[in-house]
Amino acid sequence: MTNIAKALARLREDRRDAQKQVDKLAEAISVLEKLTRGQSGSYAGGQGRTKRVLSAAGRRRISLAQKARWAKLRQMKKAA
């Protein structure tokens, strides 16, 4: 019976040590996440928020609109 009690005590000690290690890892992860949040220019704030994705059609519309603005600017420069 004493062998079982010693084994239980040892297992509890191992569990306590493992829990301390998990807590330290969680703290390290938290610190690193805070550091990386500040560097991202597109980070919108709340946790769990995903980055927005623009469809190909949307990108094309934006591209065509910008090209039209540039063409308009060139026309204005030629007229002046």
9, pLDDT greater than 70: yes
- Delimit the domains of the chain by residue range: 2-37+55-79
Q: Exposed, middle or buried: residue 66 (CB in 10 Å: 0-12, 13-18, 19+)?
A: exposed
Q: Give the closest residue to 16 by CA, choosing from 6, 8, 5.
A: 8
Average of per-residue pLDDT across 48-56? 85
- Please count the other Cβ atoms lying within 10 Å of the Cβ belonging to residue 67: 10
Q: pTM value?
A: 0.42
∠ Cα 59 39 52 (to 5°): 30
Please tell me the distance from the alpha carbon of residue 33 to that of residue 27, in angstroms, as a whole number: 10
42, pLDDT greater than 80: no
68, pLDDT greater than 90: yes
